[in-house]
Chain A
Amino acid sequence: MFPEAFVLLLLVAFNAGSSLGKDNERFHEELVVRPLSGDHVNTYFQFTTRWHYGEKDNLYHTQLTPRVIAELLQQFAVKELHIGLTQGLWRYETWGYPIVEATSGAEMWAWFSGSNLTNGEVDRQWKELANVFSGVLCASLNFVDNTNSIAPRHLIRPQFMPANGQRFVRYSTLPREIVCTENLTPWKKLLPCGSASGFASLLNSGHVHNTKYHSLGLKVRVLCEDHDEENCIVELTQTANLVYDLRLFELSNNDFSLRRLFGMGLNGFCELADSSKIYVQRNEQGERFQLVPAPTQEVRSTRGGHSVVYSVYDMHEQFKDAGERLFNVAWLSPKSEGRRRNLAKPSLPPVTVHRYLLGHGQERGRIVTEVTNSHYDALPIMVQEVVPWYVHAYLHTLSIRRKPQRVNEYGRQRLPFKLLHYTPGKQRELPSHLEIGFMLPGQTSALITIDVDYLLLKWLEYPPDANHGHYIGAAIVSSQLPMGRNYTALPPEGHLFEHSFNATRPSYVLSLHTEALIVSLPTPDFSMPYNVICLACTVVALAFGPIHSVATKMIIVGRQASAPKNFVKKIFNKIFRRGKAGEEAPAEAEGAVLGAAAAAAPLGPSGFGSSRASRTTGGPSGDQPLLEDLDEEEEEQD
Chain B
Amino acid sequence: MDRILIPDGVKRCSFPIFSLWILVLLGVIGWGIAAGAAVLIKALNLTGLNDYFGFGAYITADLAIIALGAGAFFSGFLYYGLSKFFPSLKELGKIINLAVVVGFVCYTGALAVLLLEIGQPLRGWFGYWHANVHSMLTEVIFCITCYAIVLVIEYVPLVLENRKVSESKPMAILAHSMHDVMAIFALTGTFLSFFHQGSLGGVAGVCFARPFAFREGLFIWPWTFFLFILSAISSGPAFTALICKAMEIVTRKRLVDRTVYELIGKIEGGLLSFYMILKLADTANWAFNMSPRFGLKLTDYYWGPYGLWLLIAEVGICGVLPALILISPKARKSSFLLFGAFLLDIIGVSINRFVMTIQAIAAPVMPFDKWQVYVPSVYEVAPVLAMLAYCALVISLSYRYMPLFPRETELNR
A is bound by B: no
